[in-house]
Amino acid sequence: MKLNGYLLRTLAVLLAAVAPVVILLRQPHQSADLAAAAPLDWPRLSAWACCLLGLLALFVLAGLRIRGRVLGVLIDERNRYSLSRLQMSLWTLLVLGTLYALYIANIVRGDAISALMVDLDYNLIALMGFSLASFVSAPMALSRKADLPADNSALASTGQQLLASQNLTAMPSAAGQVLTKSAPQDARLADLIRGEDVTNGTIVDLPRLQMLLITLLVVLVYGAAVGHSLGSGAWVLKELPQLHNTLLLLALISHGGYVVGKLIPSSITAPLAPPPVPDQQAPAPALQNPQ
């Protein structure tokens, strides 16, 4: 099994790092026909696709090795699929794969001195900063809820529903008001849009759903723009497509709602009632002093 794992990881590295170089070296110079017709740049597109697939394979193999799940890199310490991990993974795959394929293409087709002089859009850098901020601040926000008293009745009700509907291996537990599953095998994709508290773990959390949809929209739209630029751009590209301010604002709003939703508990547990005061017994009759 270890040999098979090493072999698969080696193949994934070759696909991500070596295959793009081999593809681009097969056509290092621009021919007159290509310059006249300006066709779709299949070598650069193929190199980009190989890099993305190789990186994706490395993510999958890492998840299988560490967590025993295909999407194991998305499972957090609470054994739930994490939305912030999904977002960071998507942007890491897209940006890292794009930059590597672009740099290799510029080195092969141009020169090593100016190959790395590629202008990155500041909106894209800001968006990646938002993703990193959400990933770092999410555990800090949840730690506040973990210090609050737990609602045992809500935990029992939520745990029973999740145990039956998701076919879990064990009943979920809680750290304060934060819901925790027992093993990585209990992670479900529904965790991406469901609440994280013991009181809302079975319902859809609207800020999380909004962030998931906006993230997928921005990644797909920007990925399509990158593919179009790599396929029909100049022979040596010096810049990536710009991310419009509208998409950046949408992402910022979704990140803000996501983090604030983690800070605010879904319900405030009522304080414990004071212990009942024992009934006062009637005072014993006073003894009369003998005459």
| pLDDT of the residue at 270 | 42
Tens of pLDDT, residues 255-266: 888 888 777 766
* pLDDT level of residue 287 (50, 70, 90 thresholds): very low
Q: 98: which 2 tokens?
A: 């794009």
Counting residues of the chain whose pLDDT is more than 90, the rounded percentage is 44
Q: Dihedral, CA atoms, 240, 241, 242, 247, nearest 10 degrees?
A: -130
Q: What is the pTM of this model?
A: 0.83
Residue that the structure tokens 């005061």 belong to: 277
| pLDDT of the residue at 56 | 96
CA nearest 251: which of 205, 283, 286, 216? 216
Phi-psi region of 150 (alpha: psi -120 to 50; beta: other; left: phi over 0): beta
Burial class (CB in 10 A: 0-12, 13-18, 19+), 273: exposed
Cα 46 to Cα 24: distance, rounded to the nearest angstrom: 9
| pLDDT of the residue at 236 | 87
- The contacts found for 1-9 with CB under 8 angstroms, 24 or more apart, are 5/61, 5/65, 8/57, 8/61, 9/58, 9/61
Of 60-64, 140-144, 160-164, 176-180, the poorest mean pLDDT is in: 140-144
Do 93 and 87 form a contact (C-beta atoms < 8 A)?
no
Helix 206-232 crosses helix 42-66 at what angle (to 10 degrees)?
Answer: 140
| pLDDT of the residue at 274 | 46
Residue that the structure tokens 């295959």 belong to: 19
Of 134-148, 213-227, 275-289, the poorest mean pLDDT is in: 275-289
CA distances from 167 to 74, 152, 159, 170, 203 (A): 20, 21, 11, 9, 17
